[in-house]
Homo-oligomer: A and B are copies of this chain.
Amino acid sequence: MDRVNFADRLMAVIDKVGTPLCAGLDPVLERLPSPIVDRAFARRSGPRAAADALGQFCLRVMDALEGMVPAVKLQSACFELYGRHGVAVLEKLVREARRRGFLVLGDVKRGDIGATAEHYASAYLGGPETAPGRCTAGFGMDAITVNPYLGPEAVQPFVRACERFGAGIFVVVLSSNPGAELFQRGPGRALFERVAVEVDRWGADLVGQCGYSSIGAVVGATRATEAAGLRRLMPRTPFLLPGVGAQGGEIESLAPVFDRDGRGGLVTVSRSLIYAHESRPGVRMEAAVRQVARRLVDQLDSVREQRRGKRSGSKPAARGRAR
């Protein structure tokens, strides 16, 4: 294994920064501050300019949140939209995020069988290799999201890659969208519960010293009702929880996900965090992002305090850029 167990790295950086908040970088051109877009299109044109603008924006969000959040989640689709230019920017952002000390999750939702899954795993979780025999661009992400629909063959190559690279995956178990029910529930025992049982099993050999596995699960933050049951089915699985804010999920409802040490969940917030400038005219972008992040961190503090069996409200020691 090139690096230490992903779950251990995840828990360590959450402990260090003091909060399990992940910034979701889903940059969309029409929502970026116009000076960033104007500058990019003054220099270049077309997809290349657009990709540059996304890159600049994400760097500024990272600048704002360095030391305040332990992880960023990059939405691959936003970059794929600009083809090779977007992918080049994505590669660069992964490097920059890691340099700043963030754990980097790639929201790629890949899932395919055999050699195809191996390619995806090497592409996103492996590092770059230049030897002709085993050469790959290797984004070197710390973890990615994986779609389980195709079955074990679509997940196991990623599990093996986690072992090889000290990386992690988050298998989509129960997504945050209302229509998720249609296939993820269904008749008999809900499919998402059956997926959950498998996720727990796939992670059995990758449990770190922290007690959690490198094989995580995506569970919508809108799924508070199911969260406790899923936690029981996947006691050692880190949960990646999207859907807070724009999609209606509430941090307050997520207590059952966390253990008595306040661990086990990583809440990822995208639009309501990175576009904080939209509702704060006159406030510098970085400051607006930090304001929202601070509020989210406070909410997460309360929830985790609750799980620790203490009264909420007693703030832990000051944090900020002190990482």
Instruction: Tell me which of A83-91, A96-104, A232-240, A249-257 binds B.
Output: A83-91
CB distance B82 to A136 under 8 Å? Answer: yes
CB distance B83 to A122 under 8 Å? Answer: no
A81 interface hit (Cβ, 8 Å): yes
A225 interface hit (Cβ, 8 Å): no
Cβ 8 A contact of A88, one of B37, B84, B177? B84
CB distance A86 to B26 under 8 Å? Answer: no
Tell me how many residues of A have a C-beta within 8 Å of chain B: 74
Cβ 8 A contact of A149, one of B46, B82, B153, B172? B172
CB distance A186 to B183 under 8 Å? Answer: no
Contacts of A198 in B (CB 8 A): 182
In the complex, the count of this chain's copies comes to: 2
Chain B nearest CB from A52 CB (Å) reads 11
A115 interface hit (Cβ, 8 Å): yes
CB distance B81 to A119 under 8 Å? Answer: yes
> A112 to B115, alpha carbons, bound, how many Å?
23
CB distance A28 to B115 under 8 Å? Answer: yes
CB distance A47 to B153 under 8 Å? Answer: no
Q: Nearest CB to that of A176 among chain B residues?
A: B113
CB distance B87 to A91 under 8 Å? Answer: no
